[in-house]
Amino acid sequence: MNIHEYQAKALLRQYGAPVSDGRVVTKAEEAKTAAGELEGPLWVVKAQIHAGGRGKGSFKEASAGEKGGVRLAKSVEEAADETAKMLGRTLVTHQTGPAGKQVNRIYIEDGSGIDRELYLALLVDRVTSRISFVVSTEGGMDIEEVAANTPEKILSFSVDPATGIQGFHGRRVAFALGLEGKQVKQCVALINTLYQIFVEKDAEMLEINPLIVTDEGDLKCLDCKMGFDGNAIYRHADIAALRDETEEDPKELAASKFDLNYIALDGEIGCMVNGAGLAMATMDIIKLYGAEPANFLDVGGGATKEKVTEAFKIITSDQNVKGILVNIFGGIMRCDVIAEGVIAAVKEVGLEVPLVVRLEGTNVEKGKEIINNSGLSVIAADDLSDAAEKIVKAVKG
Ligand code: GDP
Ligand code: MN
């Protein structure tokens, strides 16, 4: 689960990490008061969306020469003006995809004078099973680009969970960033704090790009992106409260409400499968036969008829879906329950694309009978490859 910059900064502030003062607004009328509460003489007006690259992004239907989603203002009036200009519009960045994201909130921040822009991130390294730091002097840029063109400018190390974060970690970062004097002490404190937040809140990713050295020579977190482990949200009510459902794929949101493991993808074949392994195998075999899956969907072992119905509705609500493959191996799951769910869903929402069903396992005969007697035009398949071949053929001709 991801959160907005202003929410991440509030968390940083709570733990004592250096961030600027700021106010979030959702209406243009609130902007003047909000900006007026900040010191000035520089204000930064920042679109809040769950995507990076806002500064270099551009709004849809932008006027000639119009700036992106991060704008500097020299007065309260100018800050309010820029807020009004951005609210409600769609911002496209290299991370949003071409559809972009609607800007519903603006963060107005006290502007900083920048001496240097640096890069700092914490993430879970799945290879070492540890929390890793990624550090670079090349801040404010795409770290992927730095990694591709000048990998020597990136320092990366992981922290041994048995010892936790130590002073030398912070000093190592400070040295790599070329920090001096009081900045070294600030860096050690910041590294300790970020590690503490990361562990305590079950974060998955915490990126500060840029971390800056201000004109006064102090470290400050100028931007912050943060994501949390969805499986650990249940034990952090404060983090769960930060969820912004308008930022999420509506299909994935609906799926999460019914406890379905669903991930939207770009292909044309909708899949309904039980078990994550079988779902992965189903996606692979669809690709093998020359098409692309529209989603990953594991309905789980103990799915009810209602859950299957919801799953089917979510699949058919995807405009990209040109055919559906139901692939069930009934172990704990019973084939007749799946069959009933599919039929109930089709009765409710209709079926405008070809549907291939492969059932195997517990109550398979009963399941097939239900489908055969339903009057639905279902293409029956015998095994996994037969099913994949049939759905790809039905879609591609
Ligand atoms: P992003 O484009 O989504 O990554 O948004 P950032 O918050 O990183 O802002 C983009 C860029 O705007 C930064 O790299 C800075 O160069 C600039 N910027 C952001 N805040 C300030 C500020 O307080 N003062 C100045 N001078 N520039 C800023
Ligand atoms: Mn940034």
CATH topology for 21-110?
Dna Ligase; domain 1 (3.30.1490)
Please tell me the predicted confidence (pLDDT) of residue 353: 94
Closest CA to ligand 1's atom 8: 223
| pLDDT per residue as tens digits for the range 237-261 | 999 999 999 898 888 888 988 889 9
Average pLDDT over every residue of 181-198: 98
Please tell me the predicted confidence (pLDDT) of residue 330: 84
The residues, any chain, with a CB within 8 Å of residue 257's CB and separated by 6 or more, are: none
Please tell me the predicted confidence (pLDDT) of residue 158: 97
Residue whose structure tokens are 């692979």? 284
| pLDDT band (50, 70, 90) for residue 219 | very high
Please tell me the predicted confidence (pLDDT) of residue 296: 94
- Which one of 44, 96, 209 would you pick to mutate in the ligand 1 pocket, going by the greatest count of ligand atoms within 8 A of its CB? 44
Ligand 1 site residues, Cβ closer than 6 angstroms:
44, 52-56, 70, 111-112, 114, 117, 140, 209-210, 222-223
Gap between the Cα atoms of 21 and 1, Å rounded: 25
Asked if the model's pLDDT at residue 227 lies above 90, the reply is yes
pTM of this structure: 0.84
**C-beta separation of 395 from 354 below 8 A:** yes
Backbone angles phi, psi at 355, to 5 degrees: -130, 120
Average pLDDT over every residue of 42-58: 97
Please tell me the predicted confidence (pLDDT) of residue 199: 98
Domain ranges for the chain, please list them.
21-110, 114-240, 250-396
Please tell me the predicted confidence (pLDDT) of residue 356: 95
Please tell me the predicted confidence (pLDDT) of residue 279: 95
CATH topology for 250-396?
Rossmann fold (3.40.50)
Annotated binding site: 46, 53-55, 109, 112, 117, 209, 223, 274, 331-333
Both structure tokens of 230: 């969805």
| pLDDT per residue as tens digits for the range 71-102 | 999 999 999 999 999 999 999 999 998 999 99
Both structure tokens of 291: 């098409």
| pLDDT band (50, 70, 90) for residue 376 | confident
| 5, 82, 204, 207: the active-site residue | 207
Pick the CATH number of 114-240 from 3.30.70.141, 3.30.470.20, 3.20.20.140, 2.60.120.10: 3.30.470.20
Asked if the model's pLDDT at residue 46 lies above 90, the reply is yes
Please tell me the predicted confidence (pLDDT) of residue 64: 92
SS3 track for the chain: CEECHHHHHHHHHHCCCCCCCEEEECCHHHHHHHHHCCCCCCEEEEECCCCCCCCCCEECCCCCCCCCCEEEECCHHHHHHHHHHHCCCEEECCCCCCCCEECCCEEEEECCCEEEEEEEEEEEECCCCEEEEEEECCCCCCHHHHHHHCHHHEEEEEECCCCCCCHHHHHHHHHHCCCCCHHHHHHHHHHHHHHHHHHHCCEEEEEEEEEEEECCCCEEECCCEEEECHHHHHHCHHHHCCCCHHHCCHHHHHHHHCCCEEEECCCCEEEEECCHHHHHHHHHHHHHCCCCECEEEECCCCCCHHHHHHHHHHHHCCCCCCEEEEEEEECCCCHHHHHHHHHHHHHHHCCCCCEEEEEEECCHHHHHHHHHCCCCCEEECCCHHHHHHHHHHHHHC
- Return the exposure string of 153-190: e unless at least 16 CB atoms fall within 10 Å of the residue's CB, then b: ebbeebbeeeeebeeebbbbbbebbebeeebbebbbbb
How far is the first Cα of the chain from the last one, in angstroms, to the nearest whole number? 39
Please tell me the predicted confidence (pLDDT) of residue 142: 87
| 6, 119, 195, 262: the active-site residue | 119
Ligand closest to Cα of 74 equals 1
CA of 33 to the centre of ligand 1 (A): 22
Let me know if 207 is a catalytic residue: yes
Closest CA to ligand 1's atom 9: 55
CA of 142 to the centre of ligand 2 (A): 9
Please tell me the predicted confidence (pLDDT) of residue 377: 84
The residues, any chain, with a CB within 8 Å of residue 33's CB and separated by 6 or more, are: none
Burial of 375 (0-12, 13-18, 19+ CB in 10 A): exposed
Asked if the model's pLDDT at residue 325 lies above 90, the reply is yes
Let me know if 216 is a catalytic residue: no
Both structure tokens of 277: 């392994």
Asked if the model's pLDDT at residue 341 lies above 90, the reply is no
Asked if the model's pLDDT at residue 135 lies above 80, the reply is yes
Average pLDDT over every residue of 177-206: 98
